[in-house]
């Protein structure tokens, strides 16, 4: 294989990407944070296959998601497709296993999904979703808890300025019933969902083309979506618009109760905002819907979305399995955090670098690193006995925070230097059999690099 003409060019497919350590480390950290928050509310982990029968996935999201499916025949001639989200497989999963699961069933699922869509900033054709859902109850307590989980998740991720936008599909449906557009609701809601991306004129044109909406009907829908103000001000404007319509009144009453419960659970009103332009383009939503935006970077779009879907599982079973949940858009959020300068340039998960000087003393360096790991501190021993400058250049490039340095003279004196790689500060510490003093010094320096001192 020395002939260059026979070599395969190393490249990735359009819309897909490789993740280097400096990207994968914060990615894993975000997943761990999401997992911790979900578990704190009692959500249990599940997993499902990446491949599903094609009939499981088609017609469950929208015509657009059907077009974006990666679908093919497997070796057995079966029509299959890669999942485009984690909610539709959950509905299949719940219908298949509800006798063993019992209800209500609360699950989280962190896994890749695939959509053959046009790529954009922070959005790829393969991406991770971090979902949590409650299945088997129509209680608004589950809707309220969804808002609470999203709120706690973003606080845990390090954000203080964010907005959870909330709307209700029944309010939208009630309005469309009054406007004579109930039969075209799917097309109208898909158009409204694009409002922030394409603007009112293009949305009106799409409603006219796909739903047959008149200019007057489109204008009424757009005026409704543009209602603004505090939550109470928006709700006051909505009341007369849905008065006398059972669907709209039900949606409004539920929205008011969700806001009330979220406030009781500690969500400030400025973080949970009624936004009547939120429609969510997927067909399966039936109640409350959520989208989450970063105040410092709203243009990147929603980074956590979801809502109530009471009829999705009915496609697979006669058992009543209503559900509600949301999904964190991990890769889009990572792109936002990188833009905002929130990600440290670190290519190693271990904070401590153990330099290797004296080739014959490798065991001493290995023992030192082992003491650190037993104390819960990650440590990497350099594999070659090279000059200190070369090793520290490696440590700096990888993003280590503390280095342990022990050459011939230090080892002969039973000592070790603990060097803070950010500040340059260094301590000379005695090497006891259990390395307790070294461990303590490392913890002091790590605390300084994290800003806790």
- pLDDT surpassing 50 at residue 445: yes
Domains, the chain: 21-339 (3.30.930.10), 352-449 (3.40.50.800)
- Say if CB 96 and CB 316 are below 8 A apart: yes
pTM: predicted TM-score of the whole model, two decimal places: 0.89
C-alpha span between 34 and 136 (Å, rounded): 23
Measured at the CA of 182, the angle between CA 181 and CA 187, to 5 degrees, comes to: 75
Sheet holding 415-420, edge to edge: 379-381, 352-354, 402-405, 415-420, 426-430
- What's phi and psi for 108, nearest 5 deg? -125, 155
- pLDDT surpassing 70 at residue 336: yes
- pLDDT given for residue 218 in this prediction: 92
- pLDDT given for residue 122 in this prediction: 60
Mean pLDDT lowest for which of 60-69, 70-79, 211-220, 304-313? 60-69
- pLDDT given for residue 2 in this prediction: 60
Of 45, 34, 256, the C-alpha closest to 150 is 34
pLDDT digits (tens, 9 = 90+) for 283-313: 788 999 999 999 999 888 899 999 999 987 8
- pLDDT given for residue 60 in this prediction: 75
Measured at the CA of 67, the angle between CA 86 and CA 65, to 5 degrees, comes to: 30
- pLDDT surpassing 70 at residue 387: yes
pLDDT digits (tens, 9 = 90+) for 404-432: 999 999 999 999 999 999 999 999 999 99
pLDDT digits (tens, 9 = 90+) for 110-167: 999 999 988 776 678 999 999 999 999 999 999 999 999 999 999 999 999 999 999 9
Report the percentage of the chain scoring pLDDT > 70. Answer: 98
Cα dihedral 144, 148, 153, 158 sign: positive
Q: Give the pLDDT band of residue 452 (cuts 50, 70, 90).
A: very low
- Say if CB 429 and CB 386 are below 8 A apart: no
Tokens 């909406």 -> residue: 213
- pLDDT surpassing 60 at residue 1: no
What six digits make up the tokens of 95?
A: 């219908």
Most confident option among 308-312, 344-348, 353-357: 353-357
Tokens 């796909």 -> residue: 210
- pLDDT surpassing 80 at residue 219: yes
């Amino acid at each position: 294989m020395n002939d260059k003409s026979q070599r395969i060019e190393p490249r990735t497919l359009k819309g897909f990407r490789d993740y280097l350590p400096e990207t994968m480390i914060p990615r894993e950290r975000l997943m761990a944070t999401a997992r911790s928050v979900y578990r704190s509310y009692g959500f249990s982990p599940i997993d499902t296959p990446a491949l599903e029968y094609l009939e499981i996935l088609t017609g469950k999201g929208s015509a657009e998601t059907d077009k974006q499916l990666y679908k093919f025949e497997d070796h057995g001639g079966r029509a299959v497709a890669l999942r485009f989200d984690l909610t539709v497989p959950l509905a299949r999963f719940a219908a298949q296993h509800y006798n063993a699961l019992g209800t209500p069933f609360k699950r989280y699922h962190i896994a890749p999904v695939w959509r053959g869509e046009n790529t954009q900033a922070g959005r790829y054709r393969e991406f991770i979703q971090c979902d949590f859902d409650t299945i088997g109850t129509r209680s608004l307590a589950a809707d309220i808890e969804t808002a609470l989980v999203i709120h706690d998740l973003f606080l845990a991720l390090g954000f203080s300025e964010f907005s959870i936008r909330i709307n209700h599909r029944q309010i939208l449906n009630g309005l469309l019933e009054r406007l004579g557009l109930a039969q075209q609701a799917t097309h109208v809601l898909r158009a409204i969902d694009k409002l922030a991306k394409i603007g009112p004129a293009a949305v009106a044109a799409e409603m006219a083309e796909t739903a047959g909406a008149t200019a007057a009907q489109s204008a009424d829908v757009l005026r409704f979506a543009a209602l603004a103000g505090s939550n109470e001000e928006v709700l006051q404007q909505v009341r007369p618009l849905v008065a006398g319509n059972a669907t709209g009144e039900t949606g409004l009453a539920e929205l008011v109760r969700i806001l009330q419960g979220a406030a009781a659970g500690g969500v400030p009103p400025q973080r949970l905002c009624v936004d009547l332009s939120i429609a969510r383009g997927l067909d399966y939503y039936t109640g409350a819907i959520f989208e989450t935006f970063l105040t410092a970077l709203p243009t990147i779009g929603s980074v956590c979305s979801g809502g109530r879907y009471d009829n999705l599982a009915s496609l697979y079973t006669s058992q009543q399995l209503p559900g509600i949940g949301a999904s964190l858009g991990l890769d889009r959020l990572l792109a936002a955090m990188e833009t905002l300068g929130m990600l440290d340039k670190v290519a190693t998960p271990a904070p401590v670098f153990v330099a290797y000087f004296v080739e014959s003393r490798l065991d001493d360096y290995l023992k030192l690193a082992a003491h650190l790991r037993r104390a819960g501190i990650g440590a990497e021993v350099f594999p070659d006995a090279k000059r200190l400058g070369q090793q520290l250049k490696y440590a700096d490039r990888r993003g280590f925070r503390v280095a342990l340095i022990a050459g011939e003279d230090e080892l002969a004196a039973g000592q070790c230097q603990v060097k803070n790689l950010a500040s340059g500060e260094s301590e000379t510490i005695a090497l006891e059999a259990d390395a307790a003093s070294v461990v303590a010094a490392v913890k002091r320096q790590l605390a300084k690099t994290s800003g806790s001192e």
